[in-house]
Amino acid sequence: MDGELITQFGPEAREASIASILESLMKLHSLDVEELYIRWEQFSYQRHEKQTDLNLKNLDSFKEFLQQQIEKKALQVSSASRKNGPMKKNKVVRGSTNNSAFGFSIPNTPTIKKRKLQVSSSTKKENGHENSLHFSEGTSVERTQQLGSSPLLNSDANRDVGVSTPIKLRESGKILDSLNPENIEIAGGIDPNVETATKVSIAPYFDAKKYKFRTMRQKIQDAADVLDEQIEAFHELIKGHYKLSTTDFADPTVQSQSEIYAIGRVVPDSALSEGFPNIDAIALETSRNQGIGRRIRLDLEHVSETSLFLGQIVAIKGKNATGEYFKVEEVLSLPYPDSPVSTANEIQEVQLSMDNAPMKAVITAGPYTADDKWDFSILSDFVDRINSDIKPHTIVMFGPFLDITQSCIKEANIPQFPNMKTQPKTLDEVFYKVVVPILRRIDSNIQVVLLPSTRDVLSRHAAYPQDSFDRKMLQLPRNFKCFPNPSTFQLNEVFVGCSNVDIYKDMKEITKGGSTSMRNRFDRVSEHVLQQRRYYPVFPGGLKKSLKFKDKTGKNIYEHISGADLDVPYLPLTEFVGGFAPDIIVIPSELQHFARVVRNVVFINPGRFVLPKGVNGTFVQLTVNCPDIESGDLTRIEDDEPTFLHNVWKRSRVDILTS
């Protein structure tokens, strides 16, 4: 336990008094180490601190924070109990449906980063693939940069439904953090007064027809086939990468004295009851071809360090000498996907279309109103600033736009709109009459991309992967484009991957080894996304539920709020298209906003646009310098014609600002 505490909380947890308090809090609140650390991060987040010192004084405040959370939850349960009555049953909604696939490709090399280390200097080793940061303890981090997150202020502010009430807001447009600010200036954006204003080319890199499936039609056979194909695809990938033959692989569930290689999916051991997985209670699930779909418990005693999660496809080396468990000697590192490239002609076309000017984009993530108040004024003010000050070429907006979990919607308490002749009668009409007029004010020269959330009331497709909005049905103008969730598209030459399911919160890692577990969690999860070549590699998906009431026997009755709601037969739509990693990957998360470079890919969490109590949150302003072959920012690779790596991580600047 001491080792796990040090792994999560750092060296301060070695102190006996601190360790004993942490252990007592875990027992008192029925939390494991990782869950306790997540609460600690939330505590820091509420205190507006990037990192809170782990000392006895702060632990006292942390105890009060946990107690307040319990009291708040008890009030919600009491309220729900009075409202619904003790005899009401809860309903659990599940997503579902049928088949399709993209594919896989091949590699590069891994990254190691230690948590709580200070960067002393940075050097670059450029062969088109590497950029190292050196830390004061001598540990190098290949191709990893990071942008921390900043405090949230005025969390007590709130707004009344339909009423303009003075509240405390953060200063809008204030830069909280930046990535690459010393090398790149903020782009000017479009000039709406110039007739030949530069326009960014937006090209979808997905087959929209494949998202038109019907949910709630899942067949067990189709789901089993897809889960099998994931394992088999990695089997071929590992064989090619490590130059292994078919005979090197065998069924890990069969007793044998020989050392073998095996591929499978990490699942909980059958002896593990419901709860957080741990290193001593996980198993490997084989494919039907490799092991008739059977499972075998894993013994990781001889593995010095690793990071695993449920649903992960892994390649391992070891043997099953007793028939009861597979003794793992090595967990093989999965190859990383390739990077996208462009030809010299394609780069010249971008230079001509942009007149060598940098591209400017804005990224926002919903909700766009408070959790318990109805007020879109922050979004309205933001649109005015978009037109007058920011003037980006493109805006990428993630849902939810109307959140099904928002209290006004959930409780059917939509306010009256005095300026409207006829009041909206449906939630679709609320969107047409309240939200669309705000969005329509965005300058027509600015292109807008909308991506849905599984919590969007507007979406007829509440499972992941998720079909796009219907632009015409939502009565949006031509400069709006509606893409599915997840999706990959191009902004000029830059490939952007977007997924609107919170993998950073849902991935429950099982870590072993100091250097692995002490790396920043966002780096580890980002690397898993790259290695697994899927935007959401966790299986089963994360589930968000709340305690509704207790029945007469004292049993807790929960209600489903939201979650990943995976439509398993269509999980191939969540894979990287073409088998390569996008230049930029945007995944909104409830955790702290950030921007980081991991394995030459820029990972971005824009943060929530409006915070739960109605305080303005954050958004991302992205600047990407125009590609220039002569500048040396692009790396030429060997090919029949001049071909270059985009190196977007070198020539882009990411600013996180208050909305």
Q: What is the mean pLDDT of residues 80-108?
A: 37
| Cβ-contact 96, 110 below 8 angstroms | no
For position 550, what pLDDT does the model report?
75
CA 275, CA 168: separation in Å to the nearest integer?
40
Please give the residue that has the higher pLDDT: either 542 or 47.
542
CA dist 546 and 416 (Å) reads: 29
pLDDT at res. 601: 97
Q: What angle do CA 82, 87, 88 make, to 5 degrees?
A: 80
Query: What is the amino acid identity at position 464?
Result: Y
Would you place residue 209 in the very low, low, confident or very high pLDDT band (cuts 50, 70, 90)? very high
**How far apart, in whole angstroms, are the C-alpha atoms of residue 235 and residue 391?**
48
The pLDDT of residue 194: 66
Residue 90 in contact with residue 558, Cβ under 8 Å?
A: yes
**pLDDT value of position 536:** 96
**How confident is the model over 392-411, as pLDDT tens digits?**
999 999 999 999 888 888 88
Q: What does 31-70 look like in DSSP terms, one character per residue?
A: --HHHHHHHHHHHHHHTT-SS---SHHHHHHHHHHHHHHH
In this structure, what DSSP letter does residue 597 have? E
Length of the chain: 659
* DSSP 8-class letter at 292: T
Out of 9-23, 36-50, 482-496, give the one with best mean pLDDT.
482-496
3 state DSSP class of 380: helix
Give me the chain's average pLDDT, please.
81
Alpha-carbon 194 to chain mean position: 38
Nearest to 540 by CA among 510, 563, 562, 558: 563
Degrees, nearest 5: CA angle 134-139-142? 65
Range name among 137-151, 333-347, 434-448, 604-618 with the lowest pLDDT average: 137-151
The three-class DSSP label of residue 573 is helix
- pLDDT tens per residue, range 589-647: 999 999 999 999 999 999 999 998 889 999 999 999 999 988 888 999 877 788 999 99
The Cα–Cα gap between 53 and 38 comes to 15
Q: Residue 167 corresponds to which amino acid?
A: I
> Could you give the dihedral angle defined by the CA atoms of residues 505, 563, 308 and 285, in that order, rounded to the nearest 10 degrees?
180
Which pLDDT band, with edges at 50, 70 and 90, does 558 fall under?
confident
Q: Please state, as a whole number, how many other Cβ atoms lie within 10 Å of the Cβ of residue 61.
A: 12
303-280-37-541 Cα dihedral, nearest 10 degrees: 100
Strand-pair category, 447-451 with 394-398:
parallel
Average pLDDT over residues 210-227: 89
Any idea what the Cα angle at residue 461 is, between residues 459 and 467, rounded to 5°? 90
Q: What pLDDT shows up at residue 570?
A: 94
Q: How far apart are CA 606 and CA 169, in angstroms?
A: 19
Give residue-wise pLDDT tens across range 219-239.
Answer: 889 999 999 999 999 999 999
Spatial separation of the C-alpha atoms in residues 520 and 431, rounded to whole Å:
39
pLDDT at 22: 87
CA 589, CA 521: separation in Å to the nearest integer? 13
**What is the b/e burial string over 438-464, where b = at least 16 CB atoms within 10 angstroms of the residue's CB?**
bbeebbebbbbbbbbbbbbbbbebbbb
SS3 2: helix
Q: How confident is the model at residue 96 (pLDDT cuts 50, 70, 90)?
A: very low
Identify the residue whose tokens are 């980063």: 113
More confident residue, 147 or 352: 352
pTM assigned to the model: 0.76
Question: Encoding tokens for residue 388?
Answer: 């007058």
- Per-residue confidence band for 214, with pLDDT thresholds at 50, 70 and 90: confident
Contact 484, 206 (CB under 8 A): yes
Beta-sheet pairing, 260-268 with 313-319: antiparallel
Q: Is the pLDDT of residue 524 over 60?
A: yes
